[in-house]
Amino acid sequence: MIHKFDVVIVGAGGAGLRAAVEIPKEYSCAVISKVFPTRSHTGTAQGGVCAALSNEEEDSWLNHAFDTVKGSDYLGDQDAIEIMCQDAPRAIIELEHMGMPFSRTKEGKIAQRMFGGHTKPDDPNDPNSKRHSVKRACYSADRTGHVMLQTLYENCIKNNVNFFSEYFITDLIIEDGICKGLTAIDMATSEIHTFQAKAIMFATGGYGRVFRITSNAHVGTGDGCALVYNAGLPLEDMEFFQFHPTGLWRLGILVSEAARGEGGILRNNKHEPFMEVYAPTVKDLAPRDMVSRAIISEIRAGRGILGSDGTYYIDLDLTHLGKKVIDEKIPEITGFARTYLGVEPTKECVPIQPTAHYAMGGIPTNFDTEVLADNSGNKIKGFYAAGECACVSVHGGNRLGTNSLLDIVVFGRRGGKKISEYLKTAEEHTFNTDPADKTRELMNKLLVQTGNEKISVIRRELQENMMDKCGIFRNQADLEQMKVKIKELQQRYCSITILDKSKVFNTDLIETIELGNLLDIAESINESALNRTESRGAHTRVDFPKRDDAGWMKHSFIWKNTTGGDPKIGYKPVVVTQFQPMERKY
């Protein structure tokens, strides 16, 4: 079946929906999602979305931009960061006007809380003075993403957006340098659908499922990035993957930074608050890469707390916050601790460990979300990407908490605007060949191939190895071993037998395709990590412990080698406007 639209957006998270809201009603717009739209991962975001609104204390977008650049370990492109931070207050007021129910101050203004790495100078007249944490994150208790997603979904319905829920995209059709459409499987029937459009946007989210312990939903398998990689296009900065310091021990379910923003403290096995050793000024509110490394360092130094299964964790102490703060400000996350670990956060510490959380790298775009064909700035006509799957890059080597919900609404909207402008003169395309062919071939191949391998076994091996060898601390020997492991798993992938041959909700088939995507993503992360011989942001090479601005203040681009050899790597300079690199101390 062939569908024709002016614009097709893949992904119904915040980025995709915000873009769809922006498309004028005279154009036809479809949003495709492999889950029901409001089940997209944006709905799980807890802590907040930041903007220098100055509702609780004086602040400025320049403070926000400085923090974002510093948080990115000077890898973020400063022109894009300036756009995002300057636009943030407008974006938040706009969400409020759309109907998003924010928590309020006593005066009825949008409430704001502290979050890691968000600071302002002690002396407002001297930007170089010492800095302290500032209340910049706008929130809705600890359900900020949930209310944002519901609000955007309602606004899409109002804007006559067509939804294709539980459709799984399998192919991106680029012919003659133009993005013409895509193919998808209707998961309910396994029927192949072709979507023809003048403009396509990918807003397919992250790929935390490449790691064993992750805060990401099961759908976070990087399908969009993998399709781009397989189409011979580059991915950018794939070595930078953020571990959030506080996932529930063994489960990875997120305990938002809001817990520390409200005053929570990390403690080791001596009940000592150790963060003051690692970040003397902002302590527990240091950026995530630093806190995650501090936790692992405490555990490695023998100061972790031994769990019942022989693994170690660290305590997150919320007991001093009192029942009122816990119940009103962080009800969801403390509920998770009760439900999943049987811990009562008003009386006991919550066992935590770092959890794979956010992809800084992804599909390279300019700040109007146009996808880049290479590292020289050429573009693919009609192709856009926004949100976590994209790399603008505003987060550089490490994202600050609450900057992603901001990124998705700011750049989702910019993408929607750019597409609307493009549609004024865009022509309808025709396909050179039957666009469904590749998906038909893929389905046939996977359903008939036989062997002794199981999806769950290969996935587990991939995730565990990525965690051990390509996680928070990395070194050459581990990364080389991981490279061999990925090659082995890619071989074994061809011997998976799909037992379910039926057409109705064949989740075995979908999971097999997702696993193939995870393997591609793992290859791009590992190879980029092996290549970058310095430590910056979330990428820590113990064999190259220093940041090397002379050699490495540049973005990496990686291309798949379609003939089976090693991927190709290239570079793009970082855009510096007003913030010169300096040592990152907190």
**Closest distance to ligand FAD from the beta carbon of 144 (Å):** 5
Q: Is 203 in the site for ligand FAD (CB under 6 A)?
A: yes
Helix (H, G, I), strand (E, B) or coil at 454: coil
Query: Which stretch in 311-319, 345-353, 384-392, 542-550 sits in contact with ligand FAD by CB under 6 A?
Result: 384-392
Q: Given the DSSP bridges, would you call strands 131-138 and 49-50 parallel, antiparallel or unpaired?
A: antiparallel
Amino acid sitting at position 285: L
Long-range contacts of 324-330 (CB under 8 A, 24+ apart): 325/262, 325/263, 328/141, 329/103, 329/113, 329/141, 329/142, 329/258, 329/262, 330/141, 330/142, 330/256, 330/258, 330/259, 330/262
250 is catalytic: no
Site for ligand FAD in 439-458 (CB under 6 A): none
**Closest distance to ligand FAD from the beta carbon of 11 (Å):** 3
Question: CB within 8 A of 249, min separation 6: which ones?
Answer: 307, 311, 313, 341, 351, 352, 353
CA distance 586 to 583: 10
DSSP label of 315? E
**Closest distance to ligand FAD from the beta carbon of 143 (Å):** 10
* Structure token digits, residue 288: 């995530």
Q: Is 13 in the site for ligand FAD (CB under 6 A)?
A: yes
Nearer to ligand FAD, 413 or 541 (CB): 413
Q: Is 405 in the site for ligand FAD (CB under 6 A)?
A: yes
**Closest distance to ligand FAD from the beta carbon of 280 (Å):** 26
Amino acid sitting at position 439: T
Q: Is 416 in the site for ligand FAD (CB under 6 A)?
A: no
* Structure token digits, residue 304: 């972790």
Q: Is 423 in the site for ligand FAD (CB under 6 A)?
A: no
Q: List C-alpha distances in Å: 37 to 101, 258, 464, 483.
A: 19, 25, 30, 35
Query: Which stretch in 35-43, 74-82, 478-486, 522-530 sits in contact with ligand FAD by CB under 6 A?
Result: 35-43
Query: Which stretch in 72-80, 290-298, 397-405, 472-480 sits in contact with ligand FAD by CB under 6 A?
Result: 397-405
Active-site residue identified among 131, 267, 288, 547: 288
Nearer to ligand FAD, 56 or 534 (CB): 56
**Closest distance to ligand FAD from the beta carbon of 359 (Å):** 8
H/E stretch holding 14 reads: helix 14-22
**Closest distance to ligand FAD from the beta carbon of 223 (Å):** 3
124 touches 294 (CB < 8 A): no
DSSP label of 41? G
* Structure token digits, residue 487: 């090659």
Closest residue to ligand FAD using C-beta atoms: 13
The 321-360 site mask, x for binding ligand FAD (CB under 6 A), equals -------------------------------------x--
Positions in the binding site for ligand FAD (CB under 6 A): 10-16, 32-35, 40-42, 44-49, 144-145, 167-169, 203-206, 215-216, 219, 223-224, 254, 256, 358, 387-389, 402-405, 408
Which residues are annotated as catalytic? 288
